[in-house]
Structure 1
């Protein structure tokens, strides 16, 4: 192998010896131009293709994400409507009153919102009143929505309601009715569960949503589908079939969103997916929304841009070939002249001729160029050292900026308090510490009374001033070892470490009275401001910090229901009894 390399090198040198300088320069410039232009054109085409493809993938992913968000917001709105309906004060007299009046109220709710059926069942599971009288007097004790609705707000996945479907009018296309259930416990004025309010949403609204999005896809032939968390198609092509399963489904659920390419009916498709994760109080059902476009349509712009760049590169390469000849003549001219001068000097007699030639303009310029090059090299070394020093300073500045960004990520932007994520991390550590070392700990849930009235009367800017004022009072009232956070809206949570019940109650009342006695102004208006506070102490029976916070939230609910502007301590025994029930 070594002998072959040496032989090839010898032949290359022999060829070089037969070529003029002009020819070598022209060949070198032409080859370099073609390589550089070709490389740049291919690289630019690749970058353009990937960039355009990324934009298209982002667009498809945006369609899937926005559609998933609309699904979750729709469900969250329906869930909130049901919850608010159960809490209406006029309804407290109807739950156990005249069934006919209750039925009228339920039908009014149905007319105003998008429920196919709404019914109230007592603790025995008998439907006391329902819209249209459907299932009225029937037992629903075996229905999952009733069983789970006795304990909490529950949203059931898409299913066929066989019993209810038999009572409804048959559809024109003979498709079965499919519903999404929403159920929640109904409580009397004392907070005791007296029954379950259940509602059935007709799943056809999801199909209408998909058709609306597909109709406004900008002629991209986007195909949308909604899948259950088990991979079954609920809306879209091949409905009621399993589209993804096994590791592929697990990967989609784990990733939450993304894009990939797949072959559907022999056609290559670009598919984006988004797994719904709920909205506000609605926890979500992990519905998977997919948006698919034919790859030939989706990536047409990316391929076209890449082809255009390659064509431009080919034209530039041809121009470079022409310029290479001109450049070679320009570069070879001084070298040929220098060669001729050197040949003349070499034929002269005596050293004076050589000395005189050494002072020629070309040689002097070359010497000056070399000395200038050395000077630039030295200057470049100094600039390199300066650049290294600046890089070190920039690295330190970057570290400081990262610390500031981390602080911003853990802080509520309006109040400067901790946000929910950072607070829960600290609270988990505090619970673990209290459990391990048998130390006391308490949690306060603080909510501004009549906050919506403040916004409606004085504007949202006044509401923001009220939130900031409450945050300032809380920050000034607690110790440095305590932690306070804004959980969203007008709700705050405070973690009190190393504190007993008496001190916690005193601190909560001090915060409440400080807020009540303060004068909050917005412009020329004086805003009356009070808060309700729920208090809970850590108990060995608590599973984690969520139990303590939930108990404090229950105390806040009681404080709200019993007059507001007060503090209520929620005992741990009642909370455990509620969980056991």
Structure 2
């Protein structure tokens, strides 16, 4: 082996002896350039591909999470509406009273919300009154929703109700009716069970939601689906088929959200999923929302970016090869003739000019090239100084841009108020301050009354005008030391610092009355606007800001429940009772 290596080295030296300096320099520079540029281009292409793919996956995951959240909030709202209706004091006389009057009340509820059918069932399972008279007098004692509703507030998964569907008008698309059941136990003032209030939500609303999101998402190739916790497709391609099962389904339910690659109809798909876990008191039905896109489409940008970088790398390598050839031609000559001059340049302070050399055409050419190089070095130094100055200016501009971005990250885009994240950070500091220095503080939870009705009657643009007007009034009504934020939707929160109970109640009521007397216009329409306000004072027993905000939210719940357009102070001793109510 040693003899072989020695023989190879001798052959290499023999080849070097036959090659000119120009050729050796050109080959060495070209090889080094190709290796370096190729490595950098390949690495940059790989990083670009991964980053672009991750961005696309995040976009799909965000869409799935958004749809899942809207599903859970919709179901939580319908459940809460049914529960509040069942607990209304005026309804207590109707449950065992005139069925016709009860039916009118149920139809009023149906008209206000998205129920295909609402009925009151007595303890024997007979429908006493129902919207449109459908199933009235019939027995639903065997229905699961009735049995569950006798014991608790129950929400059933998607199913077909053949008897009810046969009584409803046939759809133009001839698609079958599917429903989601909500059952509420109805009790009198003494707590005695009177029956069950049952409602059937037409599952078509979920299909409409998916279509709306697909139409507005801006990505025509993305497909959304809703699956049951058993893996069956409820909305989307191949409805009523099992899409996931076994270990794959168990892994999805356990993870809650994420992305996966799958093959569907012979196509590689990039799919993001999100499992709905409910909203507030609503525990959720573990519906799985998926957002899928063909991998060839989803990753086209990533592949194109990688190809572009590789193409640039290849072009750079060719340029480097060309430069290597040119440099080798310029250097091919008696190098020793200018060694001393080159050594002087290297040792002198700053670039200096070479003396002209003679003796051969190569030396003259090299001398001229080096003199020109020194002149370019001086110019490059000037350019470097200019670049450093521009870099300093760019750094200052970057700092200003970062400050603006930080401000945008902490602000609600619609109202200009603080968002939930930035508000909670400020609120945590306020709690620590109040606890340390024994100062009072109080949060207000403000919610626009009948906001859904505003959207349904006047449109979402009118709802946005109402939200902006409330935000404006709240901002004008509080002190500079107080903080206001939009918690989401039509809900606002105000943090009042160093304030006593009486002043806090007065300020909360002033905000409420200011909003009540405000004029909100949308086009030529004047929109009546009121809010309900929940108020709580910080107490030493509160573990953190979430406790006092939760108490204020309970106060808001009581204000809503007892008539709306009012302010309710939630004492600490009444918190448990309010939750039980």
Class of the TM-score when normalised by the shorter of the 2 chains: 0.5 to 0.7
Structure 2: state its 5+ residue gaps: 168-175, 215-219, 339-354
Worse-matched range after superposition: 269-278 or 290-299? 290-299
Match of 1:547 in 2: 550
Contact 2:552 2:569 in 1 (8 A): no
Aligned mates of 1:16, 1:287 — CA distance in 2? 73
- Give the superposition deviation at 1:10: 4.4
Following superposition of structure 1 onto structure 2, how do residues 1-40 of structure 1 map, counting pairs within 5 Å? 8-20=8-20
Match of 1:471 in 2: 474
- Give the superposition deviation at 1:55: 8.7
Please say if 1:133 is aligned against 2:132: no
1:526-572 CA-to-partner distances (Å, cap 9, x unmatched) read 999876543333456767134322233135326754xx4x5443444
Aligned mates of 1:39, 1:222 — CA distance in 2? 35
Distance 1:372 1:49, change over 3 A: same
SS at match of 1:290: strand
Aligned mates of 2:183, 2:270 — CA distance in 1? 38
Distance 1:75 1:301, change over 3 A: same
Contact 1:555 1:568 in 2 (8 A): yes
- Give the superposition deviation at 1:437: 7.5
Following superposition of structure 1 onto structure 2, how do residues 400-415 of structure 1 map, counting pairs within 5 Å? 401-415=401-415
Contact 2:262 2:269 in 1 (8 A): yes
Match of 1:487 in 2: 487
Match of 1:424 in 2: 424
Distance 1:105 1:283, change over 3 A: same
Aligned mates of 1:100, 1:125 — CA distance in 2? 18
Aligned mates of 2:140, 2:127 — CA distance in 1? 6
Match of 1:374 in 2: 374
1:3-30 CA-to-partner distances (Å, cap 9, x unmatched) read 9877655432320212356765786798
Aligned mates of 1:521, 1:210 — CA distance in 2? 31
Please say if 1:556 is aligned against 2:559: yes
Match of 1:350 in 2: none
SS at match of 2:445: strand
Aligned mates of 2:147, 2:436 — CA distance in 1? 43
Following superposition of structure 1 onto structure 2, how do residues 180-219 of structure 1 map, counting pairs within 5 Å? 180-183=180-183, 197-201=197-201
Contact 1:427 1:545 in 2 (8 A): no
Aligned mates of 1:120, 1:372 — CA distance in 2? 97
Contact 1:222 1:293 in 2 (8 A): yes
Match of 1:346 in 2: none
Aligned mates of 2:179, 2:135 — CA distance in 1? 18
Please say if 1:158 is aligned against 2:160: no
Contact 1:118 1:200 in 2 (8 A): yes
Distance 1:112 1:412, change over 3 A: closer
Aligned mates of 1:237, 1:6 — CA distance in 2? 71
Aligned mates of 1:530, 1:224 — CA distance in 2? 37
Distance 1:135 1:41, change over 3 A: farther
Contact 1:446 1:493 in 2 (8 A): yes
Aligned mates of 2:450, 2:206 — CA distance in 1? 36
SS at match of 1:417: coil
Considering only CA atoms, is the larger Rg found in Structure 1 or Structure 2? 1
Following superposition of structure 1 onto structure 2, how do residues 482-561 of structure 1 map, counting pairs within 5 Å? 482-488=482-488, 491-512=491-512, 533-538=533-538, 544-557=547-560, 560-561=563-564
> TM-score scaled by structure 1?
0.64
1:322-345 CA-to-partner distances (Å, cap 9, x unmatched) read x98x996x8887778989x99xxx
Aligned mates of 2:387, 2:109 — CA distance in 1? 70
Distance 1:16 1:303, change over 3 A: same
Distance 1:361 1:123, change over 3 A: farther
Structure 1: state its 5+ residue gaps: 171-175, 215-219, 343-354
1:161-220 CA-to-partner distances (Å, cap 9, x unmatched) read 9xx8799879xxxxx99853334688999xx99976332346688689989999xxxxx9
- Give the superposition deviation at 1:240: 8.5
Contact 1:160 1:178 in 2 (8 A): yes
Following superposition of structure 1 onto structure 2, how do residues 10-409 of structure 1 map, counting pairs within 5 Å? 10-20=10-20, 68=68, 71=71, 75=75, 94-95=94-95, 97-103=97-103, 106=106, 115=115, 117-120=117-120, 128-130=128-130, 132-133=134-135, 143-145=147-149, 147-149=151-153, 156=155, 158=157, 180-183=180-183, 197-201=197-201, 226-228=226-228, 237-238=241-242, 241-242=245-246, 244=248, 249-251=253-255, 253=256, 256-257=257-258, 259-262=259-262, 270-276=270-276, 285-290=285-290, 358=358, 363-377=363-377, 380=380, 384=384, 394=394, 398-399=398-399, 401-409=401-409
Distance 1:520 1:249, change over 3 A: closer
- Give the superposition deviation at 1:158: 1.9
Please say if 1:569 is aligned against 2:569: yes
SS at match of 2:554: helix
Match of 2:170 in 1: none
SS at match of 1:411: coil
Aligned mates of 2:139, 2:406 — CA distance in 1? 58
Aligned mates of 1:292, 1:515 — CA distance in 2? 44
> TM-score scaled by structure 2?
0.64
CA RMSD of aligned residues (A): 6.5
SS at match of 1:473: helix
Contact 1:538 1:548 in 2 (8 A): no
Aligned residues between the structures:
544
Aligned mates of 2:299, 2:518 — CA distance in 1? 62
Aligned mates of 2:286, 2:298 — CA distance in 1? 27
1:62-105 CA-to-partner distances (Å, cap 9, x unmatched) read 88568657755764785587579779999788555422342355
Match of 1:173 in 2: none
